[in-house]
């Protein structure tokens, strides 16, 4: 008869091996975007209706709106967190619908866009905008040019931005206050009123 201790250890090893094997299988949830299940422009994520890059520029130009481009990576946890926590916020969605056209560019996409009269991939566009981290949000005018504040700094926001902060940024840009004051002054003034 085998030693009961050896039997118990053998069973534990088998259980741990089985659990480890299951954990290595990629899991997909409804909120997870993978390269095979990548969101396309016009689909919703976080209740957002993302436009394709060129269509978004055209809509902004024809409607005197600002383009908010989110440079997105399918593997980016903070991008997904923004979908779940920021782009589902009713105030964020309301601010975006009033003054902005929302565009998403995926850093690994070979989809073609027209930028500066040339056809480039979204991957190349990410590089042209000098995006080095994800998510990164860039604000453009209807000509596709990056907006700058009164000091000449491009309106480019790297990283995760919580809903409350995003609302404040959208108000600063949507009211065109970025042309007259820096964001800190705007935020300070807004908190006093």
Q: State whether the Cα torsion 63-66-72-77 is positive or negative.
A: negative
Of the options 3.40.30.10, 3.30.465.10, 3.40.50.2300, 2.60.40.420, the CATH number for the domain spanning 44-192:
3.40.30.10
| Distance in angstroms (rounded) separating the CA atoms of residues 188 and 185 | 5
Q: What is the block-wise mean pLDDT of the chain (193 residues), using blocks of 10 residues? A: 49 42 35 36 60 96 97 96 96 95 97 96 97 97 95 95 97 95 92 80
Q: Residue 157 CA to chain centroid, in angstroms?
A: 11
Q: In this predicted structure, what is the pLDDT of residue 13?
A: 42
Tokens of 149: 């504040």
Return d(Cα 162, Cα 139) in angstroms, integer. Answer: 17
Question: Minimal CA–CA distance to 70: which of 49, 90, 94?
Answer: 49
* pTM (global) more than 0.85: no
């Amino acid at each position: 008869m085998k030693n009961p201790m050896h039997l118990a250890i053998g069973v534990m090893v088998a259980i741990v091996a089985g659990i480890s094997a299951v954990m290595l299988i990629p899991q997909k949830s409804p909120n997870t975007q993978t390269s095979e299940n990548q969101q396309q422009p016009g689909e919703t994520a976080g209740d957002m209706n993302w436009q394709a890059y060129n269509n978004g520029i055209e809509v902004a130009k024809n409607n005197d709106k600002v383009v908010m481009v989110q440079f997105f990576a399918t593997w980016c946890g903070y991008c997904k967190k923004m979908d779940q926590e920021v782009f589902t916020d009713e105030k964020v969605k309301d601010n975006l619908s009033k003054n902005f056209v929302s565009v998403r560019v995926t850093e690994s996409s070979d989809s073609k866009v027209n930028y500066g009269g040339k056809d480039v991939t979204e991957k190349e566009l990410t590089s042209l905008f000098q995006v080095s981290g994800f998510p990164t949000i860039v604000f453009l005018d209807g000509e596709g040019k990056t907006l700058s504040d009164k000091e000449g700094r491009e309106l480019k926001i790297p990283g995760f931005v919580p809903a409350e902060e995003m609302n404040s940024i959208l108000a600063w840009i949507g009211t065109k206050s970025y042309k007259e004051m820096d964001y800190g002054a705007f935020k300070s003034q807004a908190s006093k009123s």
